[in-house]
């Protein structure tokens, strides 16, 4: 059964009443055009609906159904943060109608102001606000696509990839993070929608960062997006996802899955900066497999949300592989960032590094949770973990949960952790030079994360600094 939402209204898909459903002030839908949603909750019927609407091949439908069973059978994680989600009270699929164009004028002033304050590029603002079409970045996007296509690079949304690159996608999809991995990976596998699919052919190097927001379409940023990146032998890319503007979803659960395959001698860097609205549970599974002499780097910045649980992982599967994870977490009032990283040394002479920086203020809680694992046979593995926490006031909290599992003798493992508080002397020093207390604390915080920020593309670094400034304003004194 195929459902075309633009024509007749199918059973079980209810038009949303714009008056009663437009409660969320960050919902940009216009009042004149209805959006179609599957009903609340998740079951087989919903899965069939999603598959029907997407017109998916049967294998994906079966994958979703199997994943649903796994999701239902798995218990909630009993570690990390407190999760209080009513799974029956969530919309799992929302299909924007074809007519659902919003204009910039329809975006609430409040959101525009935030974008303005953050200094986000015009194109990105409109994208974030869900404004479609007619601006410069389309041109950028067009020429970018052409250039990439010439090199044989595929850069599209995952839904399109299921239809147009089915064989390639199927070979890797769910192999790095199978639905059995954890409850939320299973949920994502069942109801996923959107996300990026990237394939880089052997030997192709893309010099500029590929940014998710170049890929403009309405399915790019969902609650359950699914990203798959395949870097073939000797290729090189830097993918940048998300941005520092606050991201709003109508539902309180965001659960993504990101899988990356880095083949022999290839190099992949994946940078994410996300700033979620304060009601969001952000529960994300990210994992990469690095093959012989391949390099995988995660740069992961987490701000906002009610609870974030995210531990980007690198499995160094073949000799000489290298994994590097840089993580920044900023937690403020009512927020818990349970962030960290995992390194799995599964082959000889593999090298891994984790650098984690967390900041807690106004009663926020940041936890570092990391795994450094050396499997038997991974002779000569080197693994180094550094985690630093900065606490801005006595109400805030920081915890460190390092897990180390060593199954081999001839390896080198290092772990350093530090916790510091913003010192009176630093504040006084900067203030004695004319900086206000807020400016001075912001500068100290930005200095604290500088080693990571400088790894980001310029415009993201600037945005992150501005965002922190925004978070810091009025927070002290």
* Least CB distance to other proteins at residue 183 (A): 38
* Least CB distance to other proteins at residue 339 (A): 20
Taken as a whole, the chain contains a residue count of: 477
User: Concatenated DSSP letters for 122-180?
Assistant: HHHHHHHTTB-S-SHHHHHHHHHHHHHHHTT-EEEEHHHHHHHSHHHHHHHTTTSS-GG
* Least CB distance to other proteins at residue 470 (A): 9
Q: Which is nearer to other proteins, 161 or 472 (CB)?
A: 472
* Least CB distance to other proteins at residue 65 (A): 50
Report how far apart the first and last C-alpha atoms of the chain are (Å, whole number): 61
138: how many CB neighbours lie within 10 A of its CB?
Answer: 14
Give the DSSP letter of residue 458: H
Q: Which is nearer to other proteins, 189 or 356 (CB)?
A: 356
- Residue holding tokens 């994870």? 325
Q: Which is nearer to other proteins, 407 or 447 (CB)?
A: 447
* Least CB distance to other proteins at residue 384 (A): 19
Tell me the C-alpha to C-alpha distance, in Å, between residue 139 and each of 70, 135, 216: 43, 8, 11
C-alpha–C-alpha distance, residues 166 and 188, integer Å? 19
Q: Are strands 295-304 and 257-262 parallel, antiparallel or unpaired?
A: unpaired
* Least CB distance to other proteins at residue 362 (A): 18
Q: Which of 185, 224, 179 is nearest to 67 (CA)?
A: 179
Q: Which is nearer to other proteins, 317 or 444 (CB)?
A: 444
* Least CB distance to other proteins at residue 387 (A): 16
Q: Which is nearer to other proteins, 187 or 472 (CB)?
A: 472
Residues in Cβ contact with 80 at an 8 Å cutoff, skipping those fewer than 6 apart: 307, 309, 338, 367, 369
* Angle separating helix axes 424-431 and 437-453, nearest 10 degrees: 110
Q: Which is nearer to other proteins, 67 or 332 (CB)?
A: 332
- 62's tokens: 């079966």
Q: Which is nearer to other proteins, 316 or 390 (CB)?
A: 390
> Which stretches does DSSP call E strand in 291-441?
295-304, 307-310, 313-316, 322-331, 336-345, 351-360, 365-374, 382-391, 397-406, 412-421
* Least CB distance to other proteins at residue 430 (A): 7
* Least CB distance to other proteins at residue 173 (A): 40
Q: Which is nearer to other proteins, 46 or 326 (CB)?
A: 326
C-alpha–C-alpha distance, residues 78 and 381, integer Å? 31
76 close to 183: Cβ distance less than 8 angstroms: yes
Q: Which of 141, 133, 137 is nearest to 123 (CA)?
A: 137
Residues in Cβ contact with 416 at an 8 Å cutoff, skipping those fewer than 6 apart: 385, 386, 387
Residues in Cβ contact with 345 at an 8 Å cutoff, skipping those fewer than 6 apart: 316, 352, 373, 374, 375, 378, 381, 383, 411
* Least CB distance to other proteins at residue 460 (A): 17
- 171's tokens: 């070979």
* Least CB distance to other proteins at residue 435 (A): 6
Q: Which is nearer to other proteins, 144 or 273 (CB)?
A: 273
Q: Which is nearer to other proteins, 34 or 452 (CB)?
A: 452
Q: Which is nearer to other proteins, 123 or 392 (CB)?
A: 392
Residues that bind other proteins (CB under 8 A): 117, 423-426, 428-440, 443-444, 446-451, 469, 473
4: how many CB neighbours lie within 10 A of its CB?
Answer: 10
């Amino acid at each position: 059964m195929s459902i075309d939402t633009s024509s007749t209204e199918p059973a079980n898909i209810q038009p949303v009443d714009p008056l009663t459903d437009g409660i969320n002030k960050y919902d940009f839908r216009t009042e004149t055009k209805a959006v179609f949603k599957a009903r609340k909750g998740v079951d087989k019927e919903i899965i069939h609906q999603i598959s029907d609407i997407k017109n998916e091949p049967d294998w994906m439908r079966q994958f979703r159904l199997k994943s649903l069973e796994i999701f239902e059978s798995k218990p909630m994680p009993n570690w990390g943060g407190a999760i209080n989600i009513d799974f029956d009270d969530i919309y799992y699929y929302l299909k924007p109608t074809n007519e659902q164009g919003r204009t910039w004028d329809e975006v609430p002033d409040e959101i525009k102001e935030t974008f303005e304050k953050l200094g986000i590029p015009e194109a990105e603002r409109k994208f974030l606000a869900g404004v479609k079409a007619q601006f410069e970045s389309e041109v950028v996007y067009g020429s970018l696509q052409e250039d990439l296509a010439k090199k044989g690079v595929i850069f599209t949304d995952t839904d399109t990839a299921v239809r147009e690159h089915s064989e390639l996608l199927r070979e890797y999809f769910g192999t790095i993070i199978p639905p059995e991995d954890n409850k939320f990976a299973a949920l994502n596998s069942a109801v996923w929608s959107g996300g990026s699919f990237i394939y880089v052919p052997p030997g192709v190097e893309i010099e500029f960062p590929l940014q998710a927001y170049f890929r403009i379409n309405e399915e790019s940023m969902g609650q359950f997006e699914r990203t798959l990146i395949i870097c073939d032998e000797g290729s090189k890319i830097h993918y940048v996802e998300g941005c520092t503007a606050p991201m709003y979803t109508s539902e309180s659960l965001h659960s993504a899955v990101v899988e990356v395959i880095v083949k022999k001698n290839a190099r992949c860097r994946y940078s994410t900066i996300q700033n979620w609205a304060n009601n969001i549970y952000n529960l994300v599974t990210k994992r990469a497999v690095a093959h012989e002499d391949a390099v995988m780097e995660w740069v992961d910045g987490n701000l906002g949300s009610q609870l974030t649980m995210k531990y980007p992982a690198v499995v160094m599967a073949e000799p000489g592989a290298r994994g590097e994870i840089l993580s920044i977490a900023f937690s403020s009032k009512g927020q818990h960032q349970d962030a960290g990283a995992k390194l799995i040394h599964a082959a000889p002479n593999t090298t891994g590094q984790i650098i984690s920086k967390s900041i807690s203020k106004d009663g926020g809680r940041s936890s570092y949770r990391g795994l450094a694992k050396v499997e038997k046979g991974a002779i000569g593995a080197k693994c180094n973990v550094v985690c630093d926490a900065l606490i801005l006031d006595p109400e805030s909290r920081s915890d460190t949960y390092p897990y180390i599992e060593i199954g081999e003798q001839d390896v080198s493992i290092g772990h350093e952790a530090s916790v510091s508080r913003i010192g009176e002397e630093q504040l006084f020093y900067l203030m004695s030079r004319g900086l206000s207390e807020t400016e001075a604390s912001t500068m100290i915080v930005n200095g604290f994360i500088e080693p990571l920020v400088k790894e980001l593309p310029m415009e993201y670094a600037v945005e992150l600094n501005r965002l922190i400034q925004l978070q810091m304003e009025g927070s002290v004194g």
